[in-house]
Amino acid sequence: MIVTVDTGGTKTLVASFSKDGQLGDVIRFETPKDQTEYINLLRKTLVDNYAGKDVEAVAIALPGIIKNGVAVWCNNLGWKNFHAQETLAGVLGDAPVWIENDANLAGLAETRSLEKIPESSLYVTVSTGIGTGFVTQGKIDPGVRYSEGGHMLVEYKGKVQQWESFASGRAIVKKYHKFARDIHSKRTWRQIAGRISRGFLAIIPMLQPDVIIIGGSVGTYFDRYGKDLTDILNKHLPEHIPTPKIVQAKHPEQAVIYGCYYYATDCLASR
């Protein structure tokens, strides 16, 4: 059994996978903003549900820059220099604990779920914030694993801003006073596509991925803005840089959980 943890800016999902990759029950709780409270709640959840069971590994996703098991900075939670791996070591006996960025993990899972694994893919989660994960040949790309695309600086309405400050789920709620699920106006979705496109117009010429996968809570409603987004990119990208194929994540809300599983199996295989 592999135990997986998706720590989001608003909620945390805990689940297990059987040896043949079957997802078990998913446990959900609100993510505490206090690190100590988070650790205590997560530790209790893990022990209460998995202690004494045959757990091979624990893979934990955190929404920020992760270096050597340390969350250097998790913007949406206000955490920095959080020694997560060290703090949680031994929580389930001898099972190793591995920590990785949530968008990297989601990108890993969604890329492997494609019918054919592309040479390169860019995963973008649009939820509380915006996260990016770049995968090459089915593996998290080590060269850009610390990148934070949501904090990329782009010009919007005459002002240099972070991409997620005007295009994330939180920004959409602030602007339109509705969650994505409650927005049905085609005009509004065209505007949202315009907001989201600003970051893509900056990142596509640099990375030139074969495929872009959009996930997260806003990714769930890709059918409402996908065509508008593609049209904008086709119009504004340089002639010699083609618009990548853009697809919706197959597991918009659970991609990170699946990514934790794939990451843990990769780590176990390389031991």
Query: For residue range 83-110, what is the model confidence (pLDDT) as tens digits?
Result: 999 999 999 999 999 999 999 999 999 9
Q: Is the pLDDT of residue 255 over 80?
A: yes
Same domain, 243 and 259: no
Contact 93, 137 (CB under 8 A): no
Q: Is the pLDDT of residue 253 over 80?
A: no
Same domain, 16 and 82: yes
Q: Is the pLDDT of residue 78 over 90?
A: no
In a domain, 128, yes or no: yes
Task: Please report the pLDDT score of residue 88 as a whole number.
Answer: 95
In a domain, 154, yes or no: yes
Same domain, 148 and 195: yes
- pTM equals 0.88
User: How far is the C-alpha of 172 from the C-alpha of 192, rounded, in Å?
Assistant: 8
Counted domains in the chain: 2
25, 216, 4: which is closest to 99 by C-alpha?
A: 4
Same domain, 155 and 244: yes
Same domain, 124 and 231: yes
In a domain, 236, yes or no: yes
Buried b (16+ CB within 10 A) or exposed e, 54-68: ebbbbbbbbbbbbee
66, 1, 76: which is closest to 32 by C-alpha?
A: 76
CATH of the domain at 196: 3.30.420.40
Residue 245 pLDDT level (bands cut at 50, 70, 90): very high
Q: Is the pLDDT of residue 252 over 80?
A: no
Same domain, 177 and 80: no
Same domain, 176 and 210: yes
In a domain, 141, yes or no: yes
Same domain, 135 and 161: yes
Contact 74, 63 (CB under 8 A): yes
In a domain, 73, yes or no: yes
In a domain, 21, yes or no: yes
Domain around 79: 2-105+253-269
Task: Please report the pLDDT score of residue 18 as a whole number.
Answer: 93
Same domain, 234 and 145: yes
Same domain, 143 and 33: no
Give the mean pLDDT of 178-187: 96
- The structure tokens listed for 168 are 């994330």
Distance of CA 267 to the CA centre of its chain: 19
Radius of gyration for the chain, computed over Cα atoms and rounded to the nearest angstrom: 18
Q: Is the pLDDT of residue 196 over 80?
A: yes
In a domain, 110, yes or no: no
Instruction: List the 130-136 sheet strands across, edge first.
Output: 139-140, 130-136, 120-126, 211-215, 245-248
In a domain, 146, yes or no: yes
83, 198, 192: which is closest to 150 by C-alpha?
A: 198
Strand ranges (DSSP E) for 143-254?
153-156, 159-162, 211-215, 245-248
Same domain, 233 and 258: no
Instruction: Give the residue carrying structure tokens 């494609």.
Output: 114
Same domain, 46 and 18: yes
